[in-house]
Structure 1
Amino acid sequence: MSDNAAATEPAVLVERDVTDDSIAIVTLNRPGKYNALTVELKEALLPAVTEVAGDESVRAVVLTGAGRAFCVGQDLGEHAAALERDAVGAFDTVREHYNPLVLALSGMAKPVIAAVNGPCVGAGLGLALAADLRIAAEGLKFATAFTGIGLTADTGLSASLAHAVGVARATELLLCGDTFSADDARNWGLVRDVVPAAEVLSTTLELARRLAAGPTKAYAEVKAAVQFGAVHDLPEVLEHEADAQVRLAGTKDHHGAVADFLAKRTPTFEGR
């Protein structure tokens, strides 16, 4: 894509799956720059994520990148210019953009799946780990990359990476900044599956369709419970679980699924 063509393209695309319109596909759209994160892209991504989060007709969300990459993190050209203007102010983007994005993705009351179609680095890795599940392309490379430019982690990676792979490996990945493969990520439990690059989106959509047909409110409680359980003591976790079950007790999905089970029918869910 030429620079002129890229300038006319929206920085983020939001579309519906042609097979199941309850699935929203959010695409980072700077393919010529490997979807590096500029202020323009970040300021387009947050309202896009907020919009699909608040849309009750959306029951699952896919996050992906256009072209050959998922996201290579912060656009360093833009960052260098910001450093020249105001070294401290250059990092306002962490609180203004990255933090709200991670909270919006991880806190969304519906499943979010990252279709990691190519290189996934730095803040791009943070966004991928803010999703609930990940499908990765064969042969792609992941990296934390922060210490390579004299920085520490952002986009929640100091927590999400440690929770995903353990403190020791997360510390190694963040300190050394070494790249790791899609197969490594699968072996460590970071990604659900590794497939040919041409099949990443279709495989992700297949999983999204399965989840979109499920008990959305229960999924939201599962997400909240896992996040709560990662940082609280067992007595608090048990109380949180008990409260969640009470919240789900009156849902149509729960009552219908129990009736279907007793009648030996396959349950169907409406997300309410």
Structure 2
Amino acid sequence: MGSRSSADLARALYAALAAGDRAQLDALLHPQFTGRTAEGMPFGIGGEHTGPAAMRRNGWGAIARHFEARAEPERFLDLADGRLLVTGRYRGHGKQGGAALEADFAHLIAIDQGRIKSLEQFTDTARWHAAAGPLRTVLLDFEGGIATLRLNRPDKGNAIDTEMAADLVEAATQIAERSDIRAVLIAGSGPNFTVGGDLGLFAGTAREQLPNRLRRMIDSYHLAIERLTSIDAPVVAAVRGGAGGGGLGLLYAADIVVAADDARFALGYGALGLTADGGNTWFLPRMVGMRRAQELFLLNRRLTAQEAFDFGLVSRLVPSDTVESEAATLAGTLAAGPTRAFGAVRRMLRQSFETGLSDQLDAEKDSIVVASSTDDAQEGIAAFVAKRRPQFHGS
């Protein structure tokens, strides 16, 4: 295939990406297409994507979910090995308020039988990070009414430090401000959910500075937990590996917790001479009972996944390699539900521990009266009468 035809195919690819033309992309990409986005891209976008669908979803699709960006090709050069080198510039901006995106790129494109079989991306990932916005230690993805919040310090066990606490409250705020979010999935990058507070940060802080640093960090983290518990959208947590300390607060904010059958749970405060954060002293007695909570705090007892399930800390156990798929399926099911009604139920369940029966009955009455006027309630009632599955829209 001549260089002109290769360049024409590449131009058609960039045009299809700019227009979001899936049919044209399907026509251009080889069934055995492989894409490789630059390592170090924000939001976990970098890496290999095998197959056109994977590249559309996890490569180009992930870029589109986080950026308003376009690739502007400038030069096309045939290489001796038969591949096409395209150089140009990405222009645009991040969707979370970062700097303008101005990043050079080089794409190596291979053609086979008139279709694009591979594309390898090289670009200045630092510029992409600058455009990504304020989040640095968590990944936040919005797709199909589901917000996926992923702790992203895998080399530190997703330990919570000052920056992650700030990122969590920013992410929780973004989720709370979006009316289209109908479910939230919380997970961790790497082998652990979160080991809790960053002990390296504590150890590396001067004694006289530690109280104020902890206060600022925990203020942010607690606000994130409050916002995640107050939204209408139900929350699902996917737990692999270790979950400990204040990080358990993210599990308490969840309505359903899916855990690996080899996951581990611990508080750990007693071993450090510390007390508690993350809502542990409020949520834990309500979930496992006062006696068990006392034992967990005072004896620093660690729980296996089965024990955490038996205690009521987690909702279900599954093999480690299916945790996230199971949690994502549940999030998808919840996202198809009556979101406003779910939100009211979430709040009433949590307040029920402090509310007398009479007040709780009044709250239920007021809540169901309000819910009855929603579009989802009308749809649910009509579907029940017609003996069909309801189609809720979260309104």
| Bigger shift: residues 95-104 or 195-204 | 95-104
Match of 2:163 in 1: 40
Matches within 5 A, 1:82-231: 82-93=205-216, 95-231=218-354
* Unpaired runs of at least 5, structure 1: none
- Asked if the contact 1:82/1:89 (under 8 Å) is kept, the reply is no
Deviation sequence 1:169-228 (CA, Å, 0-9, x none)? 111111111110111111122211111111111000000011000000110010010011
Q: CA shift at 1:143, angstroms? A: 0.2
Q: Which residue of 354, 371, 378 corresponds with 1:255?
A: 378
Q: Secondary structure at the match of 1:88?
A: helix
Is 2:194 aligned against 1:61? no
- Whichever residue aligns with residue 152 of structure 1, its letter is T
Give 1:58 deviation, angstroms.
1.4
Q: Provide the secondary structure at the position in 1 that maps to 2:207.
A: helix
Q: Using the alignment, how far apart are the partners of 2:238 and 2:170 within structure 1?
A: 20
Per-residue CA deviation, residues 11-40 of structure 1 (Å, 9 max, x unaligned), is 1101245xxx21111100000010001111
Indicate the larger mover: 78-87 or 222-231. Answer: 78-87
Across the aligned residues of Structure 1 and Structure 2, the Cα RMSD in angstroms comes to: 1.9
Q: How many residues align?
A: 266
CA contact (8 A) 1:23 1:59 kept: yes
Per-residue CA deviations over 1:220-260 (Å, capped at 9, x if unaligned) read 01001001111111111111111111221210111111111
Cα deviation, residue 80, structure 1 = 2.3
Judge conservation of contact 1:83–1:90 (CA < 8 Å) in 2: no
- Matched residues in 1 for 2:289 and 2:181: separation? 33
Conservation of the 8 A alpha-carbon contact between 2:161 and 2:217? no
Q: CA deviation at 1:126?
A: 1.9
Q: TM-score, normalised by structure 2?
A: 0.64
Say which of 73, 85, 108 aligns to 2:196.
73
Deviations along 1:147-175, whole A, 9 cap, x unmatched? 11111121111111111111111111111
The residue number in structure 2 matching 1:13 is 139
Largest Rg, 1 or 2: 2
Distance in 2, matches of 1:185 and 1:220, equals 26
Q: Percent identity?
A: 36
Segments of structure 2 that go 5 or more residues without pairing to the other structure are 1-39, 43-125, 130-135
Query: Partners in 1 of 2:316 and 2:192 — Cα distance?
Result: 17
> What is the CA–CA distance in structure 2 between the aligned matches of 1:27 and 1:199, rounded to whole Å?
16
> Of the two structures, which has the highest relative contact order with CA contacts closer than 8 Å and spacing of 6 or more?
1
- Partners of 2:164 and 2:210 lie apart in 1 by 21
Question: In the alignment, is the contact (CA less than 8 A) between 1:94 and 1:155 conserved in 2?
Answer: no
Alpha carbons 2:187, 2:237 under 8 Å: kept = yes
The CA distance in 2 between the partners of 1:73 and 1:264, in whole Å, is 47
Structure 1: distance between partners of 2:354 and 2:205: 35
Does the CA-based 8 Å contact 1:147-1:176 persist in structure 2? yes
Tell me which stretches of 4 or more aligned residues in structure 1 moved more than 4 Å. 5-9
Q: Distance in 2 between the 1:162 and 1:184 partners?
A: 15
Q: Which has the higher helix share?
A: 1
Contact 1:135–1:203, Cα closer than 8 Å, also in 2:
yes
Query: Separation in 2 of the partners of 1:140 and 1:266?
Result: 36
